[in-house]
Structure 1
């Protein structure tokens, strides 16, 4: 595979983010709360507001989108913790390092924002995602919440995993 580039998208690049986001929703509908049909109906103002709310990252290979992720404020009031969310890699690029590059770019962006930790919520039954996050340096916390996405009749939990971004190796409350 060719070189992977990850770039931060600005508000005026909302259409590129929209295209990547809709690809993610279409290819992996079980991984997201929203649906492609819902988000396809949103207008430009909605997408621009979304771009301002969080940092959007786009991974590309030879000018083609192959992945996307977002970095935003973690749910709690702790402004030292950023949250990685909406991570998706196109099936053709899985296993090639795209997810690693997106997470690294997200950690760099969070660090530049003055954040000390990066949180990532992972399905507790998703062994592959937990292993990926652990391999990157994320540590599991005691924080759990019900998954917002249901993949069957049985409710599942998500676990917050946290990556320290600097000297503070402690685990913030989530």
Structure 2
């Protein structure tokens, strides 16, 4: 199997991000709060703005995009020390091959470089596969819950904040 590489995308890479994001929305529309029709209509300025708001990492294999993840600042956090991992998607043909693991590890490394002390990942409470994956990556459940942006049978009606402590502080504290 060809090696997985992860490439950070800058503002000028907005078309690369747009392409993989739209592929994710087409393939897994139930996994995202946005719709393909809505995001296809976004203009270049909006895509560039998105690139400035959060870091975007794309996983590639043999020169083609096979996954994507975003790293931002956790919404509602008291300061910028809480990062948030979101928008994780892996192409169906690449699932189970280490792409998601590689993306999360690179996202955690980036968050550490940015000085963030922990990374928050919201997961559907009924999505056993996603909860198990996050737990296996070192994320720990918290008491924080919120309604799902999109309710699905797989994810349930609410999601849980799971936290990955970064750096020397391995305690899963979270202040939202």
**CA distance in structure 1 between the aligned counterparts of 2:69 and 2:156, rounded to whole angstroms:** 25
Unaligned 5+ residue runs, structure 2?
none
Structure 1 position 37, deviation (Å): 0.9
1:85 alignment partner, SS class: strand
Q: Offset of 1:155 from its aligned partner?
A: 6.2
Task: Report the counterpart of residue 71 of structure 1 in structure 2.
Answer: 71
Counterpart residue number, 1:162:
163
CA distance in 2: counterparts of 1:90 and 1:37, whole angstroms: 20
1:172 — aligned with what?
174
Write out per-residue CA displacement over residues 73-102 of structure 1, whole angstroms, 9 at most, x where no aligned residue. Answer: 101233111000000000000000000000
Aligned pairs for 1:1-174 within 5 A? 1-76=1-76, 77-151=78-152, 156-170=157-171, 171-174=173-176
Question: What TM-score results when the alignment is normalised by the length of structure 2?
Answer: 0.95
Q: Which runs of 4+ in 1 moved over 3 A?
A: none
Cα distance in 1 for partners of 2:142, 2:170 equals 13
Deviation at 1:166, TM superposition (A): 1.3
CA-to-aligned-CA distance 1:35-82 (integer Å, 9 cap, x gap): 111100000000000000000000000000000000001012331110
Q: Please report the RMSD computed on the Cα atoms of aligned residues, expressed in angstroms.
A: 1.2
The runs of 5 or more residues in structure 1 that have no matched partner are: none
Aligned residues: 173
Residues 11 and 48, structure 2, Cα contact 8 Å, conserved in 1: yes
Secondary structure at 1:163 match in 2: strand
Shift of 1:151: 1.8
The answer to whether the 8 Å contact 1:146/1:155 transfers is: no
